[in-house]
Every structure is written in structure tokens, then in C-alpha cells.
């Protein structure tokens, strides 16, 4: 692949990388002309385009006759009178195609022990768990919370829910008891599936204990059963009549279970994500439209072929692990690596070692991991990727946050060996799957740009009134037409759904992503400029500033007031910076350090370790307008260590700026 010197279209004059010649012609979408033809088809007959994909890629029990129903916009429905089952599409279908003996999942444990499971075995296991849940009275529409680490059992549990029409809500194993309780409460789940422990980086961390604690916090009375996967084998308390070992119940169940055929709009899952207010939102996804996009993008963007080994390093607790581990690749019959551990154990060469060991061909990870492994290789040459055989790789992907051009270049040169296209995939929990991304056999790549929307996705950049801005100008990223995998609603809060994603200020018909974007003046390529709301992104983990502020303020014996902003960080993308006013005098020196630690631990307990502020600064007050509004833009400047050059004429208490700037 070569850098074409003729191509200097990007605003920052970065080089353009052409898709490698051996991709063009072999890829699912070959060449820009093919991409443009698909876009054209979607533009001319939008519903026909999506209906065609839905018939091509999914097995329907009852075919749909209606494609898009916009009569309750923005509560759009897709393929609503069709019926299907997601687990049938992921598992039975592969067995029927003769792929029963093909490896579905290669599980590499934290300690390096490898377990393989074929499609036929995964189907049998899924059916046993489904039957076990049925024996507990779980049925269609019931919510099941899954609080478990990366595991074959976790994926099978998700598939088992889909099989019986139960709605899963996976909670990332790093969330605290309080966060878990809030999610269990909001879903009204009847059943929790968990494990005794999780093993990460050589450490044994609790899961079951945290479930016990969450249930004891109250508000989870709908939960009557807890199923526990044995992972560590170490003892955990079991509550009689409520808790059971999953294996004891499931292993004796029949290995067949008739799928529950559900309407395409039946909720497949709820997944909680952060918004601008304190309370995380339960993003509700559909069965048909969601699964279509998962399988379509696994084919178009990851180009998954029969002999590929796909590795997505995300956790099943996040949307990436749903769409690109638990559903999309399985629905295509791909082989995947599932990794329990962390990138730095036993050393920071683990990712490269895993790729070499399992001959991974398509690798999908987050910029934050890339940046931290660049650093690790600089400090410890023994874990430099050049020591590993990465020749099996043919395609690389990036997700979760903007990838800075330097990290892109390193990934391209040192991991991809200059051979592998990089798909920088922009999307969100709410979008269900990729929205804006290169196609590996078609799109010329520019480091740091997610390039162009997928065919059938009408993305645009608009001003505050919803009018499209010229290319080259910053604005709000929107999607002009509904698409099959889009969020259906926020569980239990349709008003918040409307306000968050289809605000009246934009006319009520544009999906508002919450990100800023700019298009290249020549190519129209999109570059994401970051969130425009009070959401921050630390190591690819999405959190609300208000959520962290509420956690700080809930430490009511100490904290009077708190404001949280993000500042750029070389490794984690953004870092959390908290400004805190205590109930007693502003601490200094060791006392400030001691209290900062108490507050960090408090946030970890309230939300989880991922939400711990990196910087905590104490002030006698916060910068406020005369009407009492906290001036966050000033805090952002202070957090970055910048001099405040903005207009401060509306500021009530200008002296506070110097105090906050000096003290940290």
C-alpha cells in the first residue's frame, strides 16, 4: 500500500492511504464505485435498500411485509410484522449451513489456558441455559441482568436470553454495587446471572459478593433468582432459595430448545450508557433491525471470511462487545478469539502474543489501548511488537474515541506491517453498530478521520438550528433518516429519548449524536471533534460529568459542591478533573492528598473505578455567574493548565480562578 502524494485533501494535510490492491476485488464492498453504487441505491429507494439487506442477511421465521413505519416518529419501527430469533440466526443457522464443527469461540483465559467451542456446542450450551431459565419461570419479555466477565458462559447467557425472548441487560464487571443496583432496579429484572469471581491480570476480583451487596441495597425485589457461574472455584456465600450454580441447573437440561419467534421490534437487550444528566439511560435495541446492522457491518467493515480469526478486545459489558462479539460475527459464522485478561498481563506484549498464538487476522481495539502499548514498548523494548509474529493480520480496526494520527500511524506501521487497512469506526451505544467508517476494500484512509458514512446512513453536520453547514465548518453530527439498528427508546423514559436524540431545536426529525464533527472541504470526510454535551470519554469509557458530580456530592459529610470537566490526556484520551468545595476549610498539602484519596475511593464505590477523577482541586468556591451558574468553560481552561483568556465579565467571583489554578 502506498501513500499517494497527489492526495493532500485533508485539512491537516495528512497523507491518504489507498486500500491494498489484494483487498479490492476480494472485499465485500470492492472499490469506491461499488460503495457509491450502494449509496445511490439507498438514496433512490431507501426502504428497498434496507429490505434487500434484511432478506439477504437474516433468516426470518415469518417474512416482513412492511419495512419502515414512521407513523410514530421518532419512535421508528423496522420490519415490524416479521418474526425471527436472534439466537437462531447466530447459531442454528450455522449448524444448518454445515458449520456445526467450526470453532465459534476460542477462549483464552487470563492465565493463558485455552478453551474452544464449536457452533454446535455453543448452540447446545445456549439451549441448556435457555431451558434452565425457563425452568425458573423466565419467559418472553422478562429482563435478565448479566454481571459477568468475558467468558463463553457470558456470551451463551446472552444468546440464551435471545432464544427465549428474554431481554438481557449486561452490566460491565467494573461497575460498583450501587451502579449494579441502579441498573437492576431500572430494568425490573427477575433474574441475575453472574460468576463467583472474575480473573484479570492475575487477580481474583469479586462478582457474586457485589451482586449480594447490590441486592441488599434494596429496590431489586423483583429478583427472585441468582445463577452463578463457577470461575474461581473459591467459596462465595449462596443464599438458600435464591442462588444456584448455573452448571448444576443447566447441565442436566435438554440440549435443544425451540426458539421463541419474536416480532422484529421485540427488545433484544437494554444497555445502560451515560448521558448529560446524572442517571444512566437504558438504551433499548430491537431484534431485527439491530441484528441486521450487526451482521451487515461484520461483513462490510470487517470483511469477515470463512477462514478469518476475528478478535474484538472490547468487553461484553459494552455495546462493542454486544454487536461485534455476541451477535454480528456469530451471525456470519465467524471464528472469534475471546480474551478474559488485560493487555498488560503477564506483560504488555499480551495482545501481540495472543495475535501470534491464535493467528488472528482481523483485530479490533481502542486507541487508548494502542497508546498505552506504544508507551509500554518504549519503556520496555522486550514487549515491542516487532518481537511477535503478526503476519496473520490482514485488517485492523479502531473504536471508542478519536484516534490521533500518531497512534494511527504506529498501529498501521508496527501492528499492520504497512499491509493492513485500518477501519476507524465511529458509532455509539445508541446507533447499534458502525455509522461512519472506511470500508477496507474501498475507502482511501486518512489518519484521524472516520471517513464516510455507510451506505444507507445519511449523516450530516448542522448548526444549532439544524441547517447543514458548509464542509470545513464545525457543527453538530446528525443522522437525517432513521436506520434499522437505531435505539428504539430509553427504557421507561420515552420523553427523555425524544429530548436527547430528536430535540425540537433541530426540528424533531434529526438524530442528534451528541458529537461535534467537521467535513473535509475537498473529500467530505468526517472528523469527529468530540462530545458537545456533558459526556466524557476516558479510555473509551463513556461517563457523564453530572454522574460523577452526583457521586462526589453524595459524600455529604465532606463535599459541599463539585464540578467535573474533562481535560486531554496523552494515554486515556480524556482525563477526569474534579473541582471540589468542601464543607470545611480548603485543605492543603498532605491533608488535600488524604481527602482526595477518600473522594476517589468514594467515587469508585458509587460508580466504579473507571470513574475515579485523575485530578482533584479544592477551592473555597467555584466560578459562577451572578445567577449562580457554574462556568464550566473556565474550569476546562484551568484543567488544561491554560491561562483564562475568555470573557469573565459575567463572573461573580473572579479571584477564585487564581486559587483553583494554583492549587492542585
Residues found near ligand WT7 in the complex (CB under 6 A): 273, 319-320, 399-402, 424-429, 450, 513-515, 528, 531, 537, 542
Beta strands in 151-206 (DSSP E): 167-170, 191-195, 197-200, 203-206
CB atoms within 10 A of CB 121: 19
Shortest distance, CB of residue 436 to ligand WT7, whole angstroms?
8
User: Under 8 Å CB-to-CB from 449, ≥6 apart: which residues?
Assistant: 10, 424, 520, 525, 526, 527
Grid coordinates given for 379:
519503556
- If the CB atoms of residues 108 and 515 are measured against ligand WT7, the closer one turns out to be 515
- If the CB atoms of residues 385 and 540 are measured against ligand WT7, the closer one turns out to be 540
Shortest distance, CB of residue 515 to ligand WT7, whole angstroms?
5
- If the CB atoms of residues 153 and 534 are measured against ligand WT7, the closer one turns out to be 534
Shortest distance, CB of residue 428 to ligand WT7, whole angstroms?
4
CB 128 within 8 A of CB 153: no
Grid coordinates given for 589:
498539602
Shortest distance, CB of residue 58 to ligand WT7, whole angstroms?
22
Burial degree of 32 (CB within 10 A; 0-12, 13-18, 19+): middle
Shortest distance, CB of residue 518 to ligand WT7, whole angstroms?
12
Grid coordinates given for 3:
501513500
Residues 576, 546: Cα–Cα separation, whole Å: 12
Q: What is the DSSP letter of 395?
A: E
Shortest distance, CB of residue 274 to ligand WT7, whole angstroms?
8
- If the CB atoms of residues 312 and 559 are measured against ligand WT7, the closer one turns out to be 312
CB 595 within 8 A of CB 613: no
CB-facing half-sphere around the CA of 593: CA atoms within 13 A: 2
- If the CB atoms of residues 293 and 624 are measured against ligand WT7, the closer one turns out to be 293
CB atoms within 10 A of CB 594: 11
- If the CB atoms of residues 76 and 364 are measured against ligand WT7, the closer one turns out to be 364
Grid coordinates given for 198:
472474575
Shortest distance, CB of residue 531 to ligand WT7, whole angstroms?
5
- If the CB atoms of residues 133 and 450 are measured against ligand WT7, the closer one turns out to be 450
- If the CB atoms of residues 358 and 542 are measured against ligand WT7, the closer one turns out to be 542
Residues 307, 503: Cα–Cα separation, whole Å: 45
End-to-end CA distance of the chain: 48
Q: What is the DSSP letter of 239?
A: -
Query: What is the number of residues in the chain?
Result: 664
Shortest distance, CB of residue 343 to ligand WT7, whole angstroms?
17
Amino acid at each position: 500500500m502506498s501513500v499517494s502524494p497527489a492526495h493532500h485533501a485533508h485539512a491537516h494535510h495528512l497523507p491518504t492511504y489507498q486500500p491494498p490492491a489484494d483487498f479490492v476485488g476480494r472485499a465485500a464492498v470492492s472499490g469506491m464505485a461499488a460503495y457509491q453504487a450502494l449509496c445511490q441505491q439507498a438514496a433512490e429507494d431507501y426502504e428497498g435498500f434496507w429490505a434487500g439487506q434484511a432478506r439477504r442477511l437474516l433468516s426470518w421465521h415469518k417474512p416482513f411485509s412492511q419495512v419502515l413505519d414512521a407513523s410514530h416518529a421518532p419512535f421508528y419501527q423496522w420490519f415490524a410484522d416479521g418474526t425471527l430469533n436472534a439466537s437462531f440466526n447466530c447459531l442454528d443457522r450455522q449448524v444448518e449451513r454445515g458449520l456445526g464443527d467450526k470453532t465459534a469461540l476460542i477462549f483464552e483465559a487470563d492465565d493463558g489456558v485455552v478453551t474452544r467451542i464449536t457452533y454446535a456446542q455453543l448452540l447446545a450450551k445456549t439451549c441448556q441455559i435457555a431451558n434452565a431459565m425457563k425452568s425458573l419461570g423466565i419467559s418472553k419479555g422478562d429482563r435478565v441482568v448479566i454481571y459477568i466477565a468475558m467468558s463463553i458462559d457470558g456470551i451463551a447467557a446472552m444468546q440464551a436470553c435471545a432464544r427465549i425472548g428474554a431481554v438481557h441487560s449486561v452490566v460491565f464487571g467494573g461497575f460498583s454495587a450501587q451502579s449494579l443496583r441502579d441498573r437492576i432496579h431500572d430494568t425490573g429484572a427477575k433474574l441475575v446471572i453472574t460468576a463467583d469471581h472474575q480473573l484479570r491480570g492475575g487477580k481474583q476480583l469479586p462478582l457474586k459478593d457485589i451482586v449480594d451487596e447490590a441486592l441488599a441495597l434494596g429496590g431489586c425485589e423483583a429478583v427472585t433468582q441468582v445463577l452463578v457461574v463457577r470461575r474461581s472455584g473459591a467459596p462465595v456465600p449462596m443464599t438458600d432459595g435464591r442462588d444456584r450454580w448455573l452448571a448444576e441447573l443447566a447441565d442436566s437440561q435438554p440440549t435443544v430448545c425451540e426458539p421463541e419467534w419474536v416480532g422484529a421490534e421485540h427488545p433484544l437487550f437494554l444497555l445502560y450508557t451515560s448521558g448529560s444528566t446524572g442517571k444512566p439511560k437504558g438504551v433499548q435495541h430491537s431484534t431485527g433491525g439491530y441484528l441486521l446492522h450487526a451482521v451487515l457491518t461484520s461483513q462490510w467493515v470487517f470483511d469477515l471470511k470463512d477462514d478469518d480469526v476475528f478478535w474484538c478486545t472490547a468487553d461484553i459489558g459494552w455495546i462493542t462487545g454486544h454487536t461485534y462479539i455476541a451477535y454480528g460475527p456469530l451471525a456470519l459464522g465467524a471464528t472469534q478469539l475471546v480474551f478474559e485478561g488485560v493487555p498488560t498481563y503477564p506483560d504488555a506484549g499480551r495482545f501481540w502474543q495472543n495475535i501470534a498464538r491464535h493467528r488472528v487476522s482481523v483485530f479490533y481495539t481502542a486507541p487508548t489501548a494502542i497508546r498505552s502499548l506504544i508507551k509500554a514498548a518504549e519503556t520496555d523494548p522486550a514487549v515491542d511488537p516487532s518481537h511477535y509474529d503478526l503476519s496473520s493480520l490482514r485488517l485492523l480496526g479502531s473504536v471508542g474515541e478519536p484516534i490521533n494520527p500518531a497512534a494511527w500511524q504506529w498501529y498501521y506501521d508496527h501492528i499492520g506491517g504497512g499491509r493492513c487497512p485500518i477501519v476507524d469506526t465511529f458509532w455509539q451505544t445508541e446507533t447499534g453498530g458502525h455509522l461512519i467508517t472506511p470500508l477496507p476494500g474501498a475507502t482511501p484512509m486518512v489518519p484521524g478521520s472516520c471517513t464516510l458514512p455507510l451506505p444507507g446512513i445519511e449523516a450530516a453536520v448542522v448548526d444549532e438550528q439544524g441547517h447543514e453547514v458548509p464542509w470545513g465548518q464545525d457543527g453538530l453530527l446528525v443522522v437525517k433518516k432513521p436506520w434499522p439498528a437505531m435505539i428504539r427508546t430509553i427504557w421507561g423514559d420515552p420523553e427523555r429519548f425524544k429530548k436527547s436524540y430528536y430535540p425540537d431545536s433541530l426540528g424533531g426529525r434529526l438524530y442528534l449524536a451528541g458529537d461535534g464533527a467537521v467535513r473535509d472541504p475537498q473529500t467530505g470526510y468526517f472528523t469527529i471533534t468530540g462530545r458537545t454535551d456533558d459526556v466524557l470519554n476516558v479510555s473509551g469509557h463513556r461517563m457523564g460529568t453530572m454522574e460523577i458530580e452526583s457521586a462526589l456530592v453524595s459524600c455529604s459529610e465532606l463535599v459541599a459542591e463539585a464540578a467535573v470537566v474533562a481535560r486531554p490526556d496523552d494515554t486515556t484520551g480524556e482525563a477526569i478533573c474534579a473541582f471540589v468545595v468542601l464543607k470545611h476549610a480548603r485543605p492543603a498539602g498532605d491533608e488535600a492528598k488524604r481527602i482526595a484519596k477518600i473522594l476517589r475511593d468514594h467515587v469508585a464505590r458509587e460508580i466504579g473505578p473507571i470513574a475515579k477523577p485523575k485530578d482533584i482541586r479544592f477551592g473555597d468556591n467555584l466560578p459562577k455567574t451572578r445567577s449562580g451558574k457554574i462556568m464550566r468553560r473556565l474550569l476546562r481552561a484551568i484543567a488544561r493548565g491554560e491561562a483564562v483568556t475568555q470573557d469573565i465579565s459575567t463572573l461573580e467571583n473572579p479571584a477564585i480562578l487564581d486559587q483553583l489554578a494554583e492549587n492542585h
